[in-house]
């Protein structure tokens, strides 16, 4: 090979690094040097990783999760185009790099010919800025003015979404954004601020009149002046009290309104995220943002703005009045001021860091608790209560560790603050005493001055704490806005409204798919089949073959990578989310009901029917649920309990079937609808499903492990490892004696009956005899030619 391509010269630096316990060969391509002798022969191409900036290395490995099987990272400058093409032609590498474009290639199956994409791309340099430093703020791909390279079936929004997620906010940006969220309550906020200024301004006069009153009694003994000043101080107190009450009430109201708005906005945004997003994040992490983060950011922001403004009024007013009382003492005070600021700033920074850690570990602990309580039946049935408690305690210990650090910092901050303000007061008393003794200031000056100085110290301390508090709000706001700004990879509002009625023919044409969370594991590999309108198509095959994934793609829970999924010849992506789910409904293996009444569960989701009562009655009758619902005390108003726990498995499933039928769908998908039920419930539900299959005029896609439930299907599609391996009706497939017949044989063997495979190659009569003479439960009638 070297002899054939003498013009290819590269210069490498080789190094091994140990990353997360895995030794990784790192080959740095220094630059493309046409005249440097080639040193390519010793390189293990399966472990190639090129880079030009070593400091980025660990981050790259971490970000792309490459420490297990690094293939190739193309980064830095002037990576040789020919080199890349070589690698790809030889089908040995994945191309992974820095721009959104190249990162996308990381999830392109190894071995795919990427040459056409590269040809349009390799003229340019690969620019480090798109991946960015982990410590830098933004990795938004919007800056990329080059044409992004998109995998087939992927749109730009999808790439953008990946980059916007986890974007870093600056403190000012987060606060600005938070304040902008308060705009709808501007009128209340203005009133609150007016009250705040009145309260703070009135409060400012207290020390002044306290000094005067003491002077009236102790020094001048002037009763008239004493009475007048007492009257004034009563007015000041009333004004301060009323204004403080208004300020406090109005700010609390604004906080409540803002939290309500942010929470609902966040929820609306999060619920629209694509399914794979929920696969990759912890539920506790999300719910924590709704509960702890939302209230924290609003409460802390409001409280601290409140404190900040109050303190600012106090600081400015105190300084003015202090200078008026004595400029010498004021000068002394000014010397102490910077210490307060420095202290506040340092602790503010630490506070933010610690708060983030605490919130993260808290979310972790929340997830653990949620998982344990959500799966309480499993926990109980494995008697693992103490195991779960240990897991939770471990997570809480981590929270505690960070809280403990925070406690130390808090202690340090408080001590420092008191030391600075009280130390200053002591120095003032000492110096002020000297000034009085030397007759440089009057006797009624020192007391109000010290009082002003104390409130100045408190106000400065509060402003230091404001910074700290604001940083807490920023930490929470950052987490909330990250989530709020995330663009869903699938826009649910896009598309046309589907017609009210369609025939319901479904076609898969060469569909390729992998779950976004597992980019290297192809699930469907060019799968094609047609489910004819008004017929029952059964999908069968080994576990993990991709049957449920097919359902997820029809209903657009996930997006296919390649190929077409058509509903009556129209790409399912053309229809809006809402109208698609009106036409296509799914009954899942685990019937999921909400903690609402039966009626509300049946009428779940947006759809229109002429007569709701009639529609519910028809749907529940068809689902064999009508009778048992009417036998319940509260009938359709019966509460189902959390996840439908107050109903039996069979009842839940029949309600779930009614929920699907009430929309009068054109396509009904039954995904292992009976497999989670006990034998008695299964029989009832199966009877309902059989009736639906016979009576309902709709396309039905049926997934079932128990092959006895699919034998009446008009068409059976056998799926294996993401491919269709056989199609036909039961009789045709049994005659073929291949995949389907093997599945049947395996199931019969499991249930103790003879293998049809053996019997199929025998005479028809023998085969029939085997079945009809079987003493075991005849779950499956394998007689060729028998369709019942
Ligand atoms: N949400 C998911 N994220 C990542 N991988 C998934 C996800 N769901 C399924 N898979 C994987 O996709 C492959 C196909 O799964 P799928 O559920 O479609 O198979 P199936 O044929 O329906 O299996 P079964 O008959 O056991 O239900 C499996 O390897 C599975 O591990």
* Ligand 1 closest atom vs CA 558: 1
Please state, for a pLDDT cut of 90, what percent of the chain lies above it.
Answer: 7
Please state, for a pLDDT cut of 70, what percent of the chain lies above it.
Answer: 71
CA of 541 to the centre of ligand 1 (A): 12
**Residue 108 pLDDT > 50, yes or no?**
no
- Whether the Cβ atoms of residue 216 and residue 226 lie closer than 8 Å to each other: yes
End-to-end CA distance of the chain: 65
Q: Which residue has the higher pLDDT, 472 or 326?
A: 326
Residue located nearest, by CA, to atom 1 of ligand 1: 279
Q: How confident is the model at residue 229 (pLDDT cuts 50, 70, 90)?
A: confident
Beta partners for 10? Answer: 32
Q: Is the CB of 279 under 6 A from ligand 1?
A: yes
For residues 95 and 48, give the distance between their C-alpha atoms in angstroms, rounded to a whole number: 10
Beta partners for 25? Answer: 16
User: Widest CA span of the chain, in angstroms?
Assistant: 129
CA of 104 to the centre of ligand 1 (A): 23
| 479 CB burial (10 A radius; 0-12, 13-18, 19+) | buried
Could you report the per-residue pLDDT of 358-372, keeping only the tens digit for each?
888 888 888 788 878
**Residue 223 pLDDT > 80, yes or no?**
yes
- Give me the pLDDT at residue 781, please: 33
Place of tokens 């779930």: 656
- 3-class DSSP state of 27: strand
Q: Is the CB of 515 under 6 A from ligand 1?
A: yes
Could you report the per-residue pLDDT of 475-509, keeping only the tens digit for each?
888 888 888 888 777 777 778 888 878 888 999 99
Residue located nearest, by CA, to atom 10 of ligand 1: 515
In angstroms, what CA-CA distances link 471 with 281, 305, 623?
A: 25, 12, 56
CA of 744 to the centre of ligand 1 (A): 22
Tokens standing for 284?
Answer: 């506790």
CA of 422 to the centre of ligand 1 (A): 67
- Give me the pLDDT at residue 758, please: 39
For residues 293 and 362, give the distance between their C-alpha atoms in angstroms, rounded to a whole number: 11
Pocket mutation for ligand 1, best pick of 274, 514, 520, 547 (most atoms within 8 Å of C-beta): 547
**Residue 342 pLDDT > 90, yes or no?**
no
**Residue 128 pLDDT > 70, yes or no?**
no
Q: How confident is the model at residue 67 (pLDDT cuts 50, 70, 90)?
A: very low
Cα 171 from chain centroid (whole Å): 22
For residues 48 and 92, give the distance between their C-alpha atoms in angstroms, rounded to a whole number: 10
Q: Is the CB of 518 under 6 A from ligand 1?
A: yes
Mean pLDDT of the 708-713 span: 80
Q: Is 0.95 topped by the overall pTM? A: no
- Give me the pLDDT at residue 676, please: 62
Residue 753, C-beta contacts closer than 8 angstroms, at least 6 positions apart: 770, 771, 774, 776, 778, 779, 780
CA of 544 to the centre of ligand 1 (A): 5
**Residue 49 pLDDT > 70, yes or no?**
no
Residue 498, C-beta contacts closer than 8 angstroms, at least 6 positions apart: 575, 576, 579, 580, 582, 583
Q: Which residue has the higher pLDDT, 100 or 333?
A: 333
Closest to 147 (Cα-Cα) out of 107, 115, 85, 101? 101
Residue located nearest, by CA, to atom 23 of ligand 1: 544
| pLDDT averaged over every residue in the chain | 71
For residues 23 and 13, give the distance between their C-alpha atoms in angstroms, rounded to a whole number: 16
Q: Which residue has the higher pLDDT, 591 or 245?
A: 245
Q: Which residue has the higher pLDDT, 687 or 111?
A: 687
Q: How confident is the model at residue 162 (pLDDT cuts 50, 70, 90)?
A: very low
- Give me the pLDDT at residue 777, please: 34
Q: Which residue has the higher pLDDT, 588 or 57?
A: 588
Mean pLDDT of the 101-126 span: 33
Could you report the per-residue pLDDT of 306-325, keeping only the tens digit for each?
888 888 888 888 889 888 88
| 666 CB burial (10 A radius; 0-12, 13-18, 19+) | buried
For residues 704 and 685, give the distance between their C-alpha atoms in angstroms, rounded to a whole number: 13
Mean pLDDT of the 299-311 span: 84
**Residue 149 pLDDT > 50, yes or no?**
no
**Residue 61 pLDDT > 80, yes or no?**
no
For residues 282 and 264, give the distance between their C-alpha atoms in angstroms, rounded to a whole number: 20
Q: How confident is the model at residue 133 (pLDDT cuts 50, 70, 90)?
A: very low
Residue 513, C-beta contacts closer than 8 angstroms, at least 6 positions apart: 522, 523, 524, 546, 549, 553, 558, 560, 561, 562, 722
- Give me the pLDDT at residue 464, please: 67
CA of 700 to the centre of ligand 1 (A): 21
Could you report the per-residue pLDDT of 715-728, keeping only the tens digit for each?
999 998 889 999 99
- Whether the Cβ atoms of residue 289 and residue 480 lie closer than 8 Å to each other: yes
Tokens standing for 770?
Answer: 């085997």
For residues 673 and 685, give the distance between their C-alpha atoms in angstroms, rounded to a whole number: 8
- Give me the pLDDT at residue 506, please: 92
Most confident of 22-26, 283-287, 637-641: 637-641
DSSP state of 788: -
Mean pLDDT of the 698-718 span: 85
- Whether the Cβ atoms of residue 513 and residue 524 lie closer than 8 Å to each other: yes
In angstroms, what CA-CA distances link 661 with 62, 218, 309, 658?
A: 47, 90, 59, 5
DSSP state of 289: I
Dihedral of alpha carbons 195, 201, 207, 213, sign: negative
Strand-strand pairing, 562-567 and 570-571? antiparallel
- Give me the pLDDT at residue 59, please: 40
Lowest mean pLDDT, pick from 37-46, 581-590, 770-779: 770-779
CA of 558 to the centre of ligand 1 (A): 12
Mean pLDDT of the 328-339 span: 80
Percentages helix, strand, coil for the chain (3-state, rounded to 5) are: 60, 10, 30
Q: How confident is the model at residue 550 (pLDDT cuts 50, 70, 90)?
A: very high
């Amino acid at each position: 090979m070297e002899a054939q391509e003498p013009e290819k010269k590269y210069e490498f630096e080789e190094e091994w690094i140990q990353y997360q316990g895995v030794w990784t060969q790192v080959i740095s391509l220094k630059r493309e040097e046409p005249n440097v002798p080639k040193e390519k022969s010793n390189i293990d191409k399966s472990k190639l990783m090129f880079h030009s900036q070593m400091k980025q290395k660990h981050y790259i490995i971490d970000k792309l999760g490459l420490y297990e099987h690094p293939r190739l990272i193309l980064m830095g400058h002037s990576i040789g185009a020919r080199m890349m093409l070589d690698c790809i032609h030889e089908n040995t590498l994945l191309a992974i790099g820095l721009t959104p474009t190249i990162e996308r290639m990381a999830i392109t199956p190894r071995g795919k010919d990427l040459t056409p994409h590269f040809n349009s791309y390799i003229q340019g340099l690969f620019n480090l800025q798109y991946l960015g430093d982990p410590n830098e703020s933004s990795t938004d791909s919007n800056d990329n003015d080059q044409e992004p390279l998109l995998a087939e079936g992927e749109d730009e929004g999808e790439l953008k979404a990946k980059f916007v997620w986890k974007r870093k906010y600056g403190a000012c940006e987060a606060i600005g954004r938070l304040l902008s969220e308060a705009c709808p309550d501007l009128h209340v906020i203005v009133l609150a601020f007016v009250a705040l200024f009145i309260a703070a301004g009135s409060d400012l006069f207290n020390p002044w009149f306290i000094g005067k009153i003491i002077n009236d009694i102790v020094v001048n003994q002037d009763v008239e002046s004493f009475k007048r000043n007492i009257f004034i101080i009563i007015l000041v107190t009333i004004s301060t009290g009323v204004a403080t009450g208004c300020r406090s009430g109005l700010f609390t109201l604004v906080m409540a309104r803002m939290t309500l708005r942010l929470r609902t906005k966040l929820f609306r945004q999060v619920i629209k995220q694509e399914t794979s997003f929920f696969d990759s994040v912890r539920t506790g992490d999300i719910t924590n943002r709704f509960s702890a983060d939302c209230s924290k950011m609003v409460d802390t922001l409001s409280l601290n703005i409140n404190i900040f403004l109050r303190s600012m009024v106090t600081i400015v007013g105190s300084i003015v009045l202090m200078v008026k009382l004595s400029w010498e003492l004021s000068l002394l005070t000014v010397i102490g001021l910077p210490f307060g600021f420095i202290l506040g700033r340092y602790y503010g920074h630490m506070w933010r860091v610690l708060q983030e850690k605490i919130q993260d570990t808290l979310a972790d602990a929340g997830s653990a608790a949620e998982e344990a309580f959500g799966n309480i039946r499993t926990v109980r049935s494995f008697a693992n209560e103490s195991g779960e408690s240990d897991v939770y305690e471990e997570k809480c210990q981590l929270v505690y560790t960070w809280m403990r650090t925070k406690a130390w910092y808090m202690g340090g901050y408080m001590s420092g603050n008191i030391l600075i303000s009280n130390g200053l007061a002591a120095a003032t008393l000492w110096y002020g005493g000297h000034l009085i003794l030397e007759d440089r200031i009057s006797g009624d000056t020192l007391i109000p001055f010290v009082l002003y100085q104390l409130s100045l110290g408190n106000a400065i301390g509060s402003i230091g704490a404001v910074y700290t508090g604001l940083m807490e709000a920023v930490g929470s706001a950052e987490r909330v806005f990250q989530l709020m700004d995330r663009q869903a990879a699938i826009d649910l509002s896009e598309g046309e409204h589907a017609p009210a009625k369609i025939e319901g023919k479904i076609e898969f044409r060469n569909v390729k798919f992998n779950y976004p969370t597992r980019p290297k594991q192809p699930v469907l590999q060019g799968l094609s089949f047609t489910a004819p309108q008004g017929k029952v198509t059964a999908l069968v095959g080994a576990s993990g073959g991709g049957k449920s994934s097919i359902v997820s793609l029809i209903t657009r829970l996930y997006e296919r990578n390649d190929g077409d999924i058509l509903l009556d010849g129209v790409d399912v992506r053309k229809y809006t989310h809402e109208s698609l789910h009106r036409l296509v409904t799914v009954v899942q293996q685990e019937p999921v009901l909400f903690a609402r009444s039966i009626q509300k569960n049946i009428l779940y989701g947006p759809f229109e029917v002429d007569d709701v009562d009639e529609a519910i009655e028809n749907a529940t009758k068809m689902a064999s649920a009508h009778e048992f619902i009417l036998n319940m005390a509260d009938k359709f108003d019966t509460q189902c309990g959390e996840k439908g726990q107050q109903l039996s498995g069979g009842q839940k499933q029949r309600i779930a079937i009614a929920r699907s039928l009430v929309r009068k769908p054109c396509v009904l998908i039954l995904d292992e609808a009976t497999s989670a039920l006990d034998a008695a419930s299964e029989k009832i539900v199966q009877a309902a499903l059989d009736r639906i299959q016979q009576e309902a005029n709709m396309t039905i896609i049926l997934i079932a492990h128990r092959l006895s439930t699919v034998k009446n299907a008009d068409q059976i599609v056998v799926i294996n490892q993401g491919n269709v391996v056989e199609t036909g009706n039961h009789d045709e497939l049994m005659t073929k004696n291949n995949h389907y017949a093997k599945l049947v044989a395996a199931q019969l063997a499991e249930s103790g009956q003879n293998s049809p495979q053996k019997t199929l190659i025998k005479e028809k009569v023998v085969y029939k005899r085997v079945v009809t003479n079987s003493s075991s439960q005849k779950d499956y009638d394998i007689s060729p030619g028998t369709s019942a």
